[in-house]
Amino acid sequence: MITFPNAKINIGLQVTERRPDGYHNLDTVFYPIPTHDALEVIVAEGADYDCRLHLSGVEIEGDTDNNLVVRAYRLLAADYSLPAVDVYLHKHIPTGAGLGGGSADASYMLRLLNEMCALGISDEELEAYAARLGADCPFFIKNTPVYATGIGNEFHPIALDLSGWHIVVVKPDVFVSTKEAYSMVRPEKPEVTLDKKIVRPIEEWRETVSNDFEKGIFAIHPELADIKNRLYELGAVYAAMSGSGSALYGLFAEPVEGIERCFEGCFCEQQKLPDSHRGVPK
């Protein structure tokens, strides 16, 4: 079976407080976008292994045995009888971008195995499994817009529909350390939470919806600030960095001609947001 894990963007991100456990509480919105990886699982008859991962596309560093997709398989295999499988993952979603590609791959692996092996696991149970793999992994189970709080793991449904808008995602060859990003932020509880701001017209977001990571990260990576400014020059109604970066995106009312030429040397993709809230159907 094959499926196509989609990315997400953060619309706004406020770091509200540092927790006693060393993590930070957040105020953000997750929204699925139609930038995809490809994930195929094939039963490996007679194999002397449980799950073997084959990678292509964007290079991923590290041992494949520790990849979230393999960990997702073994998480279910601890509770269910699963066949040995070969997994083919073609990476298109940029890594280290704040787009959730690895989390999406893991959650889609859970969903695919549930369907392929007729395990009958509910979405709520799949979310619980996904939460054991990463804070934002459960988002990709239902894959609809949410207002996220806690460490980005407490989801609240939100009436946000960007269908028909055009999104441009730009990821330069810049690495942003998440640890470094948090070190440059001073947590502060906002007077108005993001779920209240996001219901206002998109044309107002530029002045009201912000990402707390941008100030510090833009100071050490001014090229990221330049990309955001360029998106606005091209006509974006709203532009921002996603999560702790280093991908940025712009929302446009109309498609932008020749967008790739504007960001040569970067990953650059333009998509029309679908009529459905889902990045891809189940």
What percent of the chain stands above pLDDT 90?
90
Check residue 18 and give its pLDDT: 92
Residue 206 has pLDDT above 90, yes or no: yes
Residue 280's pLDDT band (cuts 50, 70, 90): very low
Closest CA to 82 of 68, 90, 70: 70
Catalytic sites, residue numbers: 8, 136
Q: How far apart (Å, rounded) are the C-alpha atoms in residues 252 and 167?
A: 6
Given a cut of 80, whether residue 277 has pLDDT beyond it is no
Q: Decide which of 280 and 196 is more confident.
A: 196
Give yes or no for residue 282 having a pLDDT over 60. no
**Segment among 81-85, 126-130, 173-177, 194-198 with least mean pLDDT:** 173-177
Distance CA 101, CA 95 (A): 7
pLDDT average, residue stretch 237-241: 98
- The reported pLDDT for the residue numbered 276 is 53
d(CA 40, CA 63): 19
> Residue-wise over 180-206: b if at least 16 C-beta within 10 A, else e?
ebbeebeeeeeeeebbebbeeebeebe
Residue 246, preceding bond cis, omega within 30 degrees?
Answer: yes
Tokens (6 digits) for 92:
């298109």
**pLDDT per position as a tens digit, 101-122:** 999 999 999 999 999 999 999 9
Average pLDDT, the chain: 94
Number of other residues whose CB lies within 10 A of the CB of residue 47: 13
Give, as one character, the DSSP assignment of residue 2.
Answer: E
Q: What percent of the chain has pLDDT over 70?
A: 98
pLDDT band at 62 (very low <50, low <70, confident <90, very high): confident
Q: Looking at this protein, which amino acid is placed at residue 148? A: A
- Report the run of H or E that residue 197 belongs to, with start and end: helix 194-197
**For range 86-112, the mean pLDDT:** 97
Q: Across residues 242-253, what is the average pLDDT?
A: 96
Token duo for residue 196 = 């209240």
The two tokens of residue 167 are 């999104």
Distance of CA 67 to the CA centre of its chain: 16
The pLDDT of 67-86, averaged and rounded, is 98
What are the structure tokens assigned to 130, written together? Answer: 């996904």
Contact 252, 232 (CB under 8 A): no
Q: Assign domain 166-272 one CATH number from 3.40.50.20, 1.10.10.10, 3.90.79.10, 3.30.70.890.
A: 3.30.70.890
Find, among 253, 224, 228, the residue nearest to 240 by Cα: 228
Residue 147 backbone dihedrals phi, psi, to 5 degrees = -90, 120
Domain boundaries, the chain: 2-157, 166-272
User: Residue 247's closest CA among 279, 272, 221?
Assistant: 221
pLDDT tens by residue, 18-60: 999 988 999 999 999 999 999 999 999 999 999 999 999 999 9
Helix (H, G, I), strand (E, B) or coil at 35: strand
> For the structural domain made of 2-157, what CATH number should be given?
3.30.230.10
What does the pLDDT read at residue 275?
Answer: 72
Q: Is the pLDDT of residue 70 over 60?
A: yes
**pLDDT value at position 281?**
40
CA distance 232 to 51: 45
Confidence of residue 195 (pLDDT cuts 50, 70, 90): very high
pLDDT of 178? 85
Number of Cβ atoms within 10 Å of the Cβ of 166: 20
Average pLDDT over residues 226-250: 97
Half-sphere exposure of 262 (CA within 13 A, CB side): 21
